[in-house]
Amino acid sequence: MARDYPINSLGFAKPPAETRVVVAMSGGVDSSVVAAELAREGYDVVGVTLQLYDHGAALAKKGACCAGRDIHDARRVAEEMGFPHYVLDYENTFREAVIDEFADAYLAGATPVPCIRCNERVKFRDLLETARDLDADCMATGHYIQRKAGAQGPELHMAADPVRDQSYFLFSTTAEQLDYLRFPLGHLATKAETRALAARHGLSVADKPDSQDICFVPNGNYAAVIEKLRPGAADPGEIVDMEGRVLGSHRGVIHYTIGQRRGLGIGGLSDPLYVVRLDPDARQVVVGPKTALATRTVPVREINWLGDAPLQSRAQWQISVKVRSTRPPREAVLRPTGPDTAEVELLSPEEGVSPGQACVFYETGGSRVFGGGWIHR
């Protein structure tokens, strides 16, 4: 006679030992704690680490995820906790789906966010398929975001700790992916709790520093990486004001970002000037006063919508949005213009809104994430 089992902590009506979970392990403390906790609870844990770029180059670099050192650390945690661990070579996929687009977007004057594309195109697409191939019931990650049961199915919510919240980087998670994913750290109040759990499990990574950089951009030097990927990208050109008057010269558009004030090399002017636009075709950096940076209307495309009703079921939605990962959500009106395009009107203008960044949608005054899209001009 079949037994009725209570729902386990991952949401399945069967014993943990009969529930297989693939844990995406970067080698850092967060994903290591997820794997260790689930192994301690008795789940059938399989650890998977992605090798995303050249191993030789990776071994020489600290402070970024998925490097050779991190593969070693992930494997060691698996050995300590007694579950299988696999390393998958995703170098070609990563280069095509993430690095090449990053370089091209940067050359086009945008400010891309490759971590979002990596989650969207590698971790939550290809790795998720691998998890299904391994007959896993679900896939767990160490991201700080919450998955909550809703009336229409699983909902995406901000992490309990606003300092650690990673919802900005996960807006493109689809409803179907959300059904399969689990985020066991999202409810923790602080990062210190995660480190305490790592220490309790005796994990070798308990004191490992957090990665700060984009994994393939050592020391945050974007321009050096772009020059290596696209030789000739750093062609010099003119710095011009908003009327087109030449104020100076620059050493390549890729060295500048929207909103930048320092390092322009055009002294002797009474009012400070900021980069307001990049024109890679004309090889021009356009500068203007701070007021020129204020943006109220933001066109968004490639929208991933996670609301209960379809995006185009209303003429407009009252929401809050983030236009940069480091900024708090601001109130806005979302007006759909197509199946996956919209215009976002910010109720108070924001400075430094840049093409290539994400615009992420939130419930006003709440924690729910309604998806988001890409700012395109």
Burial class (CB in 10 A: 0-12, 13-18, 19+), 368: buried
| Single pTM value for the model | 0.88
> Looking at residue 343, what is its pLDDT?
97
> Looking at residue 58, what is its pLDDT?
42
CB-CB contact of 85 with 75 (8 Å) = yes
Q: Pick the range with the lowest mean pLDDT from 41-45, 120-124, 179-183.
A: 120-124
Top CATH class of 234-288 equals: mainly beta
Rounded to an integer, what distance in angstroms lies between the CA atom of residue 207 and that of residue 189? 18
Please report which confidence band the pLDDT of residue 268 belongs to, taking 50, 70 and 90 as the band edges.
Answer: low
> Looking at residue 190, what is its pLDDT?
83
The mean pLDDT value for 135-150 works out to 96
CB-CB contact of 3 with 112 (8 Å) = no
Sheet with 138-140, strands from edge to edge, namely 85-89, 44-51, 20-24, 138-140, 181-182
Helix (H) or strand (E) segment spanning residue 128: helix 128-133
Rg (CA), the chain: 22
pLDDT in tens, 301-347: 999 999 999 999 999 999 999 998 888 999 999 999 999 999 999 99
> Looking at residue 67, what is its pLDDT?
56
Who has greater pLDDT, 240 or 53?
240
Please report which confidence band the pLDDT of residue 54 belongs to, taking 50, 70 and 90 as the band edges.
Answer: low
Out of 138-152, 191-205, 210-224, give the one with best mean pLDDT: 138-152
> Looking at residue 60, what is its pLDDT?
44
> Looking at residue 366, what is its pLDDT?
94
Q: What is the DSSP string of 161-213?
A: STTT--GGGGTT--HHHHHHEE-TTTT-S-HHHHHHHHHHTT-TTTTPPPP-S
215 part of the active site: yes
Helix (H) or strand (E) segment spanning residue 370: strand 368-375
Please report which confidence band the pLDDT of residue 1 belongs to, taking 50, 70 and 90 as the band edges.
Answer: very low
Out of 101-110, 189-198, 252-261, 269-278, give the one with best mean pLDDT: 189-198
Q: Pick the range with the lowest mean pLDDT from 44-48, 139-143, 267-271.
A: 267-271
A 10 A CB-CB count for 11 gives 14
Residue 68 has pLDDT above 50, yes or no: yes
Taking the C-alpha atoms of 244, 249, 250 and 251 in order, what is their torsion angle to the nearest 10 degrees?
Answer: 140
Q: Pick the range with the lowest mean pLDDT from 53-67, 123-137, 243-257.
A: 53-67
Residue 86 has pLDDT above 80, yes or no: yes
CB-CB contact of 150 with 138 (8 Å) = no
- Kindly report the average pLDDT of the chain as a whole number: 89
pLDDT in tens, 2-40: 567 899 999 999 999 999 999 999 989 999 999 999 999
Who has greater pLDDT, 267 or 242?
242
The position carrying tokens 């499990």 is 201
CB-CB contact of 121 with 98 (8 Å) = yes
Who has greater pLDDT, 300 or 121?
300
> Looking at residue 65, what is its pLDDT?
47
DSSP summary character for residue 18: G
Q: What single-letter amino acid sits at 123?
A: K
**Residue ranges per domain, the chain?**
16-142+184-220, 234-288, 294-375
Q: Active site residue: 115, 118, 138, 359, which one?
A: 118
Helix (H) or strand (E) segment spanning residue 117: helix 114-118
Q: What percentage of the chain exceeds 70 in pLDDT?
A: 94
> Looking at residue 281, what is its pLDDT?
83
> Looking at residue 243, what is its pLDDT?
92
Q: Both tokens of residue 51?
A: 């090798």
Q: Active site residue: 65, 115, 138, 215, which one?
A: 215
- What would be the CATH architecture of the domain defined by 294-375? Beta Barrel (2.40)
Please report which confidence band the pLDDT of residue 55 belongs to, taking 50, 70 and 90 as the band edges.
Answer: very low
Rounded to an integer, what distance in angstroms lies between the CA atom of residue 359 and that of residue 363? 14
The mean pLDDT value for 57-68 works out to 49
Please report which confidence band the pLDDT of residue 110 belongs to, taking 50, 70 and 90 as the band edges.
Answer: confident
118 part of the active site: yes
CATH number for the domain formed by residue range(s) 16-142+184-220: 3.40.50.620
